[in-house]
Amino acid sequence: MRSAALGPQNRATALREMSDNEYDVLVIGGGVVGAGAALDAVSRGLTVALIEARDWAAGSSSRSSKLIHGGLRYLEQLDFRLVREALKERHLLLTRLAPHLVRPVPFLFPLRHRIWERFYIGVGMTLYDLLGGLRSVVPRHRHLSRRRALEEAPALRPDALIGALQYFDAQTDDARMTLTIARTAARYGAAVVNRARATGLLREGGRVTGARVLDLETGREITVRAGQVISATGVWTDETLAMAGAGETRTMKPSKGVHIVVPRDRIDLRTAMILRTEKSVLFVIPWGQYWIIGTTDTQWSLDKDRPVASRADIDYLLDHVNAVLRRPLTRDDIEGVYAGLRPLLAGNEANTAKLSREHLVANPVPGLVIVAGGKYTTYRVMAEDAVDMAVRELGADVAGSVTQRVPLLGAAGYEALWNGRHRLADRFGLSVPTVERLLHRYGSGVEDLLGMITADPALGRVLDGAPGYLKAEAVYAASHEQALHLEDVLTRRTHIFMEEKDRGLAAAPEVAALIAPVLGWDDDATRRETERYRLQAEAEIAAENQPDDVTAEVILHGVPDPSARAGAAGANP
């Protein structure tokens, strides 16, 4: 097996290998499904290359509600197969594949109507428990009186509920999960490279045989040849189909989801919460020292690379959550905002909240497999289905998928380290909560990060302007996690962008200085990175004060992408 470290040298080596070799499978798209497809293929013994035009999880896979769940609301749509499939994946992630990254979370469902609602929702939750299986590691749902519900949720107005039900689901750090899957694929031999954009597909006769790939960091274009190309490009699937010459096909119907982040002490809850809205549901989800509140669900037809939140989105979330809170939230309470696009399959429904989250796997032209739709929780199933189709096209004797039994990087040994967390804290001079947080982020891989602190104790100190993170985490992002730009560190390797009210502007200079030696930046390059990030963060804040999507996008697109070279911005394909 290869090293799981993805530093600058590893990336350069992977690019050379891609140029020199022919692969069984080339995966285009470094979201959770693309990373999952690369892991599925390489763990079957295939040779695999994985490219991503921006950064790992830079699209939908870092902008979700960060839940691993069956989708309770899909029961109302009678989508029992999807719910059962998702709950099976939830169990695998909690128990075997990623126990360090996925954790159970209790959810409170306030009831507003007597008798019928408790019966109706209770039956749904009973079915939800049954679909989760008899060996589920999360507790069954329970009924609560109004008094008991208010003990769990003192923040709620007494007249906002007549009682409640409580059930369990799970949550994850979506960006870190995606990165970990990509690193696990690299560990088993896949060549993985971010900031590498597919600019065209190679053809021999009517068959796709690879792709032309532009390294956005150097401007160099290479040719990557493969027996099969798997496109996992999410909301950009239609662009991939057009590149393949499959005609003007409308497969995707992107839906924008916006979340806001507020301090934990602003809402007095002992539990997460789910609320009904006229369109869908609204979640209030614990996130360290914060709550994530979301999401909206509106059609999106503007730039897919950089969806943006507007004042209308934020007002929608505040209005709906304030309808049940004793002490309403204001815009001043908001620490962060993020917007993402759901890769929904196009359908006849005008309302995207009603579109199914089931996925599509297709072979539109020989040599090309398209996987689209689905939900984050079922990434592994989507990846398996895509590789199954590619294997049939390869015509070789290839093993079946084994990813149900392949733990992600950091899972092996995690429980033992967790049990010894107090000793780790004493040994490295860190608080126990800090060690627990690191274990939830890195699992057993925390030993590499702690080794950096042993070599340089200064890295064990917290970042200026972002006290929730250690300096070592910034350096580790560049040396082990293929972070190539300041934005990569502040937005996805950490979540400083959404957790700090200034969007990480106070932390940016120090983080840039920490990663500069790893990435080979001189003083001018370091200043340029910091300035680009500043412009982008200020534009995001300004956009959030605009009344609608169109005016918000004008503000955001008035500044350059902080992580793209001139003329090189864009997402796969």
CA-to-CA separations, 77 to 73, 207, 280, 294, 445, in angstroms, rounded: 7, 39, 12, 21, 41
- State whether residue 269 is helix, strand or coil: coil
**Which pLDDT score is estimated for 346?**
83
Two structure tokens written together for 561: 């992408």
In a domain, residue 73? The reply is yes
In a domain, residue 161? The reply is yes
- Exposure string of 365-388, with b = 16+ CB inside 10 Å and e = fewer, is bebbbbbbbbbbbbbbbbbbbbbb
Alpha-carbon span 199 to 221, nearest angstrom: 9
Q: Render 201-217 in DSSP notation, one character per residue.
A: EEEETTEEEEEEEEETT
**Which pLDDT score is estimated for 349?**
53
Same domain membership, residue 341 and residue 287? yes
Gyration radius (Cα) of the chain, Å = 23
Q: Are 537 and 497 in contact (CB under 8 A)?
A: yes
Same domain membership, residue 507 and residue 432? yes
Task: Average pLDDT across each block of 10 residues of the chain; the chain has 573 residues. List them in order.
Answer: 85 97 98 98 98 97 96 85 95 98 98 93 95 92 97 97 97 98 98 97 95 97 98 94 80 93 98 91 96 94 92 97 97 97 76 60 94 95 96 90 98 97 95 97 96 96 97 98 98 97 97 98 97 95 94 86 46 48
Residue ending a domain, among 137, 171, 205, is: 171
**CATH number of the domain to which 447 belongs:** 1.10.8.870
In a domain, residue 571? The reply is no
In a domain, residue 165? The reply is yes
**pTM here?**
0.95
In a domain, residue 570? The reply is no
Same domain membership, residue 192 and residue 51? yes
CA-to-CA separations, 181 to 91, 186, 357, in angstroms, rounded: 17, 9, 22
Same domain membership, residue 187 and residue 55? yes
Same domain membership, residue 548 and residue 422? yes
Alpha-carbon span 414 to 213, nearest angstrom: 37
**Which pLDDT score is estimated for 175?**
98
CA-to-CA separations, 439 to 423, 474, 478, in angstroms, rounded: 13, 16, 19
- State whether residue 482 is helix, strand or coil: coil
Two structure tokens written together for 34: 């693309």
Alpha-carbon span 200 to 214, nearest angstrom: 10
In a domain, residue 207? The reply is yes
Alpha-carbon span 238 to 253, nearest angstrom: 10
**How many structural domains does the chain have?**
4
- State whether residue 345 is helix, strand or coil: strand
H helical segments located in 443-572: 446-455, 471-480, 486-487, 496-499, 508-519, 523-543, 549-556
Residue ending a domain, among 345, 367, 389, is: 345
Alpha-carbon span 430 to 424, nearest angstrom: 8
Same domain membership, residue 381 and residue 294? no
Q: Are 156 and 325 in contact (CB under 8 A)?
A: yes
Same domain membership, residue 196 and residue 163? no
Q: Are 273 and 153 in contact (CB under 8 A)?
A: yes
Helices H / strands E in the chain, number of each: 19, 20
Task: Give the domain extent around 339.
Answer: 252-345
Alpha-carbon span 520 to 526, nearest angstrom: 10
In a domain, residue 567? The reply is no
In a domain, residue 3? The reply is no
Alpha-carbon span 15 to 10, nearest angstrom: 9
Same domain membership, residue 35 and residue 184? yes
Q: Render 63-114 in DSSP notation, one character per residue.
A: SS--EE---GGGGTTT-HHHHHHHHHHHHHIIIII-TTTEEEEEEEEEE-SS
Ramachandran angles phi, psi of 179, nearest 5°? -60, -40
Two structure tokens written together for 330: 């204001």
Same domain membership, residue 187 and residue 47? yes
Same domain membership, residue 233 and residue 138? no
**Which pLDDT score is estimated for 3?**
77
- State whether residue 356 is helix, strand or coil: coil
- Kind and range of the H or E run holding 193: strand 191-193
- Alpha carbon 44 to its chain centroid, in Å, reads 25
Q: Render 228-251 in DSSP notation, one character per residue.
A: EEEE--GGGHHHHHHHTT--S---
Residue ending a domain, among 136, 171, 206, is: 171
Alpha-carbon span 529 to 2, nearest angstrom: 31
**Which pLDDT score is estimated for 569?**
33
Same domain membership, residue 370 and residue 233? yes
Same domain membership, residue 427 and residue 547? yes
Residue type, 77: Q
